[in-house]
Structure 1
Amino acid sequence: MGISSERAQAPHRRDHRIDALRGVALLMMCIDHIPQNWLNRFTMRNIGFADAAEVFVLLAGYASWLAYGRAFAKKPVAEVLARIGRRCWQLYVFQIVMVVVCIATIRIWRHFWPVPVDFLEPELAHGLDSVWRVLSLVALPGNLNILPLYIVLLLGFAPLYALLRGVGTPVVLGLSAAVWLGVNYDPRLNFPNWLDPDGWYFDPLAWQFLFVLGVCAARVAGQHDGSLPRSRLLAALCGLYLVFSAVQSFPWLDWGFADLRPVVMALPDKMILSPWRLVDVLALFYLVQSSPRATLWANTRMGQLMALFGRHSLEIFTAGTLVDLYGRLVLTSFGTGWMMQVVVNVAGFYVLLAVARVKERQRVAARQARAAMPDTVPARAPLCRG
C-alpha cells in the first residue's frame, strides 16, 4: 500500500473493539497472576489454548500500526522514530519501577509474615549484587517479562515497516513465519535469561510472528473501514476451532466432571507460541474484528468500561501487576477464604478503575487543550520540523 493510498483513506475513527478486547485481556492477566484467586477459573485460559498474553501481544502489533505505521506516511521519519524511542523508554521505566516495587515489597513483607519460596526470585535470594542484571534486562523475573518483549518488538517496528514497504506483506509474513517455525522446531533459539536456563519466558523470536500478524491485520482493516473482511466460511471454521479448543482445554477434573477431552495431547507450549495457541488467538481475534455485533457490544456500557481500561494499557498493566503482588501476599498470609477473595478482587478492581479514570481525565484535558490552542503556525512550518 503506497503513501498516497494511505493518505487517501478516511479519517481515523477509534475502534472501541480493540480497546475493549485489550481491556478484557488486561483484567484477565491480572486475575490469572494470582494463583489463589478463585476468579481465575473463569478466564479464557480455561476455555482455550491461548490466554490473555496472546491477545495482548497481537493487539500490541495492531495498535503499533495505528500509532506509528500510518504516521510514517504523514510525518518526518525522524519524528516517528523519536516517538517510538520515547515509548520504548517509557516501557523500560515502567518495567524498572515494577521490579523495584516488587523487590522492596517482598523484602519488607517477609519481616512480618512468611513469604513462600516461589516469591523469592534469585535476584532476591542472592541479594542486591544481581539487581544490575534485572535493570539491564539480562534477568527477567516471573510475571515481569512481557514488557521487555514489547520493547524488543517495538524496537523492530521501523525495520518491519521498511520491509513491508519494500518487499510486501506476503514476503514479510513468510520470513516472520519461518523464524517462528524455526523456534518451534528448536526451542533453544531464544534470548538468554539469567534467571532461567531456558531463556525468556516469551521467546521474542517466536512471539514476533504474532506481533507481525497484528500489524498486517491493522493494515488490512484500514482498507476495509476498520474491520477485517467477513467470510462466513472462515468465521464458521474459527468457531469450530474455538469449540474444540474450549472442550480440550477446560479443566474438567478440577470441576469434578468426567474428562471430556476428545484427544490426548500435551499442554501447548507458551514459551515458543505453539501453533495450537497461535491459531486459537487468531480465530478469536478474527471473529471479534470482523463482527458488527462486537462493534455494538463495544459501544455498550460494559464495553466502554473495558475500553477505558484498554485505552491506558501500560498504566493498567503496571497497576495490575502490583495488585497481583499484593493480592498474592494477602491471600498467602491471611488465607484464601471467600471474604478475603472478595476483598482482594473488589479492592484490586477499584484500584485499576481509579487509575483508568485518572488517565482518562488527563487524556481528555490534553485533547481539549490542544483543540483550544490557536492555530497561528504558518502552513509551511511543518516542513521544517525534524
Structure 2
Amino acid sequence: MLNGRDPRIDFFRGLALIFIFWDHVPHNPLGQITLRNIGFSDAAEVFVFLAGYASVLAYSKVMEREGYGMACLKILRRAWVLYVVHIFLLAMLMGIVFFANSHVETRDLVQEMGLTHFITNPQQALTDELLLRFKPNLMDPLPLYIVLLLGLPLVLPALVRVPLAVVAVSLTVYLLAPKLGWNLAAIADGVWYFNPVTWQLLFVLGGAASIHARRPHTPDPRALSRQPVFMVAAAYSLLAAVITLSWRWPQIHDALMPTLLNEWLYPISKTDLSPVRLLHFLALAYVTAKLLPTHGWTQNWPAQQCCRMGRHSLEVFCLGVLLAPLADMLNAQVNDAWPMQIFSALLGLLLMAALAAWLEFNQRLSAPRPAPLGASR
C-alpha cells in the first residue's frame, strides 16, 4: 500500500490508460495487443469499474470521518473539476485536430473526430458543449465519469450499508434501460455513445467491490467448493478470446459459429454495455484477481511506472486524448508505415509516463516536511 492506496488498482488503471491511447490511434500495431483484441470488453470497462472502486473507497472514508454532507460537497467539487477539465480539453482537442487536419491531405480528420457540428453550427456547438451534448470522438469517457460521479451521493450511504440491495436496483435499471430507450440526449446519433443509465451498473459494481474489500475477511473453508466459479469464468474468457480472434478471418468465423449462437451474440452493443461485454469483463477480472498474487508483483520498475500513471489518471487521460490525433498525423505523413506507427505509440507512452513522473515529483516537493528534531512547538 502507498498512503493507503492499493497499488493493484493504480496499476490496472494505468494499463487501461495506455490501452485507451493505443486504441485511439488508427492502424497502430500496438493496438493489436490491447484488451479489446482478446474478448468482448475493452479498456473502457476497466476504467469505469475502477473509477467506481476508487470513488466509493475514497468518499466512503470521507463520510465516516466528516459526515455525509461533507462527502457530498467533496464529490460535487470533484465533479466540477472534471467538468471544467472537460471544457478545456475539448477546446484544446479541437485546436489540435484542426492543426493536424491541415497537415493530412488524404483524410478529413475533422469529420473522423466528429467535429463537423462545430464547423457547421459553432454557436449551437458551444451550447451543446456546456450541456455535455457535444462529445467528439475520444471525449466520451470523461462526461460519463462526470454523470456517474454526480449520481454517487444518491447511493453512497446505501452502498456502504447494503451493497447487495444497491447492486440489485442498479441491475434492474441496467436491464430495463435498453428496452425502454433510457439514455441521455446528444447531437449526431441523438444519444450518448456511453449510455450512463446502463454503464452505471459497472460503476456500482466497482463501488460494491471496494466496500467488500474493506471488510475483514477470514479464511473460507468452502473456498475449494467455489473452484467451479473460477473454471466457468476462465472458460468464458477463453471462448470470448477465440471468438474475438476469429473476427480477423470472417470466413472461418462464419464457418465455426453456430447460427443460434450467432443470432444470440450479435450485435454486441458498447453503448448499452451488452451483457456479453459485462460478463466478459467480470469473468476476466475474477480470473485475474485469483491468478495474480496480492503483493510483490507491482514492485518491479515497469509496474511502478504504470502505477504512477494510474495515480494521476485524469491528467494522463487528458494527455492521451491530445496525443492521439498528433500520432495519427505523424503516421499519415509516411502513409502509416509501421515503424512510424510503433514509434508514435511508444513516444506517446513515454510522454504519458513522463507527465505522471513530473506530477509525482511536484507532489513530493509540495508535501509538508517534518519539523527538525529539537524544533520548538
TM-score normalized by the length of structure 2: 0.87
Residue 139 of structure 1 aligns to a residue whose secondary structure is coil
Confirm whether residue 30 of structure 1 aligns to residue 30 of structure 2: no
Task: Indicate yes or no: 2:231 matched with 1:240.
Answer: no
Q: Deviations over 1:195-236 (max 9, x none)?
A: 322x00110000000000000011111114799996433222
Deviating more after overlay: 230-239 vs 276-285: 230-239
Change (3 A) 1:133 1:60: same
Provide the C-alpha distance between the structure 1 equivalents of 2:303 and 2:344, rounded to a whole number of angstroms: 23
Q: Give the C-alpha shift of residue 257 in structure 1.
A: 9.2
The one-letter code sitting in structure 2 at the alignment partner of 1:22 is R
For 2:212, the equivalent position in structure 1 comes to 220
Distance in 2, matches of 1:352 and 1:223, equals: 35
State percent identity of aligned pairs.
31
Cα deviation for residue 370 of structure 1 reads 6.4
Partner of 1:160: 155
Structure 2 gap segments, 5+ residues each: none
Residue among 161, 165, 174 paired with 1:171: 165
Q: Contact 1:184/1:274 (CA < 8 Å) preserved in 2? A: no
| 32-41 vs 333-342, which moves further | 333-342
Note the C-alpha offset of 1:106: 2.6
Q: CA deviation at 1:151?
A: 0.6
Indicate conservation of the 8 Å contact 1:46/1:250, yes or no. Answer: yes
* Pairing 1:205–2:197 present: yes
Which stretch of the first structure deviates more once superposed, 55-64 or 277-286?
Answer: 277-286
- Higher mean Cα deviation, 210-219 or 177-186? 177-186
1:369 is aligned to 2:368: yes
1:320-335 to structure 2, matched below 5 A, reads: 320-335=320-335
Q: Which secondary structure state, in structure 2, belongs to the residue aligned with residue 140 of structure 1?
A: coil
Give, in angstroms, the shift of residue 333 of structure 1.
4.1
Mapped contact 2:113–2:137 kept (Cα < 8 A): no
1:282 and 1:295 map into 2 onto residues whose CA distance is 21
CA contact (8 A) 2:51 2:206 kept: yes
In structure 2, the CA distance between the partners of 1:206 and 1:341, relative to structure 1 (3 Å rule), is same
Match of 2:73 in 1: 82
- Are the aligned partners of 1:16 and 1:299 in contact in 2 as well (CA < 8 Å)? no
In structure 2, distance between residues paired with 1:80 and 1:217: 19
Deviations 1:104-123 (A, max 9, x none): 22333444443513235233
- Superposed, 1:1-386 pairs within 5 Å as 13-114=4-105, 115-116=107-108, 117-129=111-123, 130-164=125-159, 168-186=162-180, 188-197=181-190, 199-224=191-216, 231-251=226-246, 253=248, 258-259=252-253, 262-263=257-258, 264=262, 265-293=265-293, 295-366=295-366, 368-369=367-368
- The answer to whether the Cα contact below 8 Å between 2:104 and 2:329 also exists between their aligned partners in 1 is no
RMSD: 2.9
Amino acid paired to 1:268: I
TM-score by length of 1: 0.85
What letter corresponds to residue 153 of structure 2 in structure 1? A
Q: Is the 8 A contact 2:114 2:136 kept in 1?
A: no
Q: How far has the Cα of 1:99 moved from its partner?
A: 0.7
The structure-2 alpha-carbon separation of the partners of 1:162 and 1:322, relative to structure 1 and needing over 3 Å to count, comes to: same
* Residue 131 to residue 83, structure 1, CA distance change in 2 (3 Å): same
Q: Please tell me whether the aligned partners of residues 17 and 288 of structure 1 are also in contact (alpha carbons under 8 angstroms).
A: no
CA distance in 2, matches of 1:76, 1:226: 29
Relative to structure 2, which stretch is displaced further, 74-83 or 50-59?
A: 74-83
With over 3 angstroms needed to count, the CA separation of the structure-2 counterparts of 1:371 and 1:177, relative to structure 1, is farther
Shift in Å, 1:86? 2.1
Equivalent residues of 2:86, 2:142 under 8 A apart = yes
SS at match of 1:369: coil
For residue 25 of structure 1, report the CA deviation from its aligned partner. Answer: 0.8
Whichever residue aligns with residue 306 of structure 1, its letter is C
Quote the Cα distance in structure 2 between the aligned partners of 1:45 and 1:239: 17
Does the Cα contact within 8 Å between 1:173 and 1:213 map onto a contact in 2? yes
Q: 5+ unaligned residues in a row in structure 1: which ranges?
A: 1-9, 375-386
Residues 120 and 243 of structure 1: CA distance in aligned 2, closer, same or farther (over 3 Å): closer
How far the C-alpha of 1:352 sits from its partner, in A, is: 0.4
CA distance in 2, matches of 1:125, 1:11: 47
**For 1:226 and 1:341, how far apart are their aligned partners in 2?**
50
Secondary structure of the residue that 1:272 maps to in structure 2?
coil
Counterpart code for 1:313: S
Aligned residues: 362
| Preserved contact between residue 17 and residue 289 of structure 1 (Cα < 8 Å) | no
